[in-house]
């Protein structure tokens, strides 16, 4: 699939592509962005998949930090993940309320649905070095989103010592990354 954007509210021309493949029991999604403008273009990229939230769903992902957010879900401070909301030690998806960008992500995550004897391993390529976890209370879904940048990255570019993850593509330059989803059965 591809989409070509003509400059307008976003002032750069660009092309975005997604390529889906199924092989050896896994789904691979490759995403790419190419700057078609005559000037450098800031960009971020990622996937935003939804997964079923069940009473026993569990998520594990090695991270080193996270962005605390304000009431509008905009980042205000980089901190260590707190106990009970740290995917490195695992989180019970239905019992944890998050809308958070985690940093220092190993680009690997595992989701386990023990009541169904199933799991899903997620592996992302650079530059998808951050993981957004969205676990809305009381909903039948949650999101585990491999992304390249923090929320509101463009507005933080000028801040010293803040790694926003924002990518600047030169005219004609492209960036791509693949995310792999490998389902498996587990012992019940």
- The residue among 108, 83, 93 whose CA lies nearest residue 57 is 93
Long-range CB contacts (< 8 A, 24+ apart) of 155-161? 156/75, 157/42
Q: Give the CB-side neighbour count of residue 23, counting CA atoms within 13 A.
A: 6
Q: Please give the model's pTM, rounded to 2 decimal places.
A: 0.94
Which residues are CB-neighbours of 99 under 8 A, at least 6 positions away? Answer: 69, 73, 132, 133, 134, 135, 136
- The whole-number pLDDT of residue 158 equals 81
* All structural domains of the chain with their residue ranges: 2-185
What does the pLDDT read at residue 123? 98
pLDDT of 159 reads 81
Taking only the tens place, the pLDDT of each residue in 107-157 is 999 999 999 999 999 999 999 999 999 999 999 999 999 999 999 998 888
77-113 pLDDT, tens digit per residue, is 999 999 989 999 999 999 999 999 999 999 999 999 9
The predicted pLDDT at position 121 comes to 98
135 beta partners = 98
In this prediction, residue 156 carries a pLDDT of: 85
- Residue 188 predicted with pLDDT over 80: no
As a whole number, mean pLDDT of residues 53-64 equals 97
Q: Does the pLDDT value for residue 161 go beyond 80?
A: no
Which CATH number applies to 2-185?
2.70.98.10
Task: Note the pLDDT tens digit of each residue in 6-16.
Answer: 999 999 999 99
For residue range 7-47, what is the model confidence (pLDDT) as tens digits?
999 999 999 999 999 999 999 999 999 999 999 999 999 99
């Amino acid at each position: 699939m591809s989409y070509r954007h003509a400059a307008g509210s976003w002032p750069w021309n660009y092309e975005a592509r997604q390529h889906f493949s199924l092989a050896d029991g896994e789904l691979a999604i490759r995403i790419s962005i190419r700057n078609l403008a005559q000037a450098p273009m800031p960009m971020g990229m990622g996937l935003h998949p939804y997964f079923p939230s069940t009473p026993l769903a569990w998520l594990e992902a090695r991270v080193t930090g996270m962005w605390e957010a304000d009431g509008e879900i905009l980042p205000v401070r980089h901190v260590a993940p707190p106990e009970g909301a740290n995917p490195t030690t695992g989180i019970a998806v239905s019992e944890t309320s998050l809308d958070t960008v985690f940093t220092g992500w190993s680009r690997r995550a595992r989701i386990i649905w023990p009541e169904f004897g199933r799991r899903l391993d997620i592996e992302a390529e650079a530059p998808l070095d951050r993981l957004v976890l969205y676990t809305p209370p009381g909903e039948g879904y949650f999101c585990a989103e491999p992304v390249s940048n923090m929320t509101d990255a463009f507005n933080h570019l000028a801040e010293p010592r803040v790694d926003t993850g924002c990518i600047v593509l030169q005219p004609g330059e492209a960036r791509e990354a693949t995310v792999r989803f490998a389902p498996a059965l587990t012992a019940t």
